[in-house]
């Protein structure tokens, strides 16, 4: 009986190790660390923030105009004829629609900010991806995971972190 258990255990152990992955085929990067250390990413982010703030000021100004029209209408409403009320209400609705359109144009899913982000950030992401691919080929890595995006990762050996090597490939310090 004991002999059978030992044989089964030994078989299971050898079977399990035959299919075990070599831990060197997996590596991790910290994308937030990499991006923080890329000057071109900081520059692109700064540009996006400036553009976003400028567009937000434009949207805020249009919203204030719409609010002013509505406030003025409420205070003057009792003095206006039906025709003038209807005209003012249409004016307010038109202005509010302009504000919504402006928000959509700048900040919508396919808006100007999205397009600008795509134009500024995508080339940087492509460079990082190329560096990752190059490192994967050099080191014969099968999987490279982003540890900053993996909340389930509790521990990782620092030997598996190739973030600094990626930065070297990108020419960053």
Domain boundaries, the chain: 21-169
- CA quadruple 59, 61, 63, 66: dihedral sign: negative
Query: Is residue 165's pLDDT more than 60?
Result: yes
Long-range contacts of 45-49 (CB under 8 A, 24+ apart): 47/116, 47/120, 48/113, 48/116, 48/117, 48/120, 48/121
pLDDT at 59: 97
Q: How confident is the model at residue 15 (pLDDT cuts 50, 70, 90)?
A: very low
Average pLDDT over residues 23-36: 86
pLDDT at 98: 97
């Amino acid at each position: 009986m004991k002999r059978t258990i030992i044989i089964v255990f030994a078989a299971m152990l050898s079977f399990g190790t035959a299919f075990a992955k070599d831990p060197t085929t997996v590596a991790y990067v910290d994308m937030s660390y990499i991006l923080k250390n890329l000057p071109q990413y900081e520059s692109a982010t700064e540009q996006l923030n400036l553009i976003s703030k400028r567009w937000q000021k434009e949207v805020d100004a249009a919203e204030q105009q719409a609010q002013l029209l509505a406030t003025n209408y409420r205070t003057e409403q009792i003095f206006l004829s039906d025709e003038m009320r209807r005209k003012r209400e249409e004016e307010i609705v038109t202005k509010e629609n302009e504000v919504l359109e402006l928000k959509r144009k700048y900040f919508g899913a396919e808006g100007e900010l999205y397009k600008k982000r795509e134009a500024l950030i995508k080339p940087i992401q492509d460079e990082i991806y190329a560096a990752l691919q190059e490192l994967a080929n050099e080191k014969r890595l099968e999987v490279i995971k982003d540890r900053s995006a993996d909340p389930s990762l509790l521990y990782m050996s620092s030997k598996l972190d190739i973030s600094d090597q990626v930065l070297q490939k990108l020419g960053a310090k």
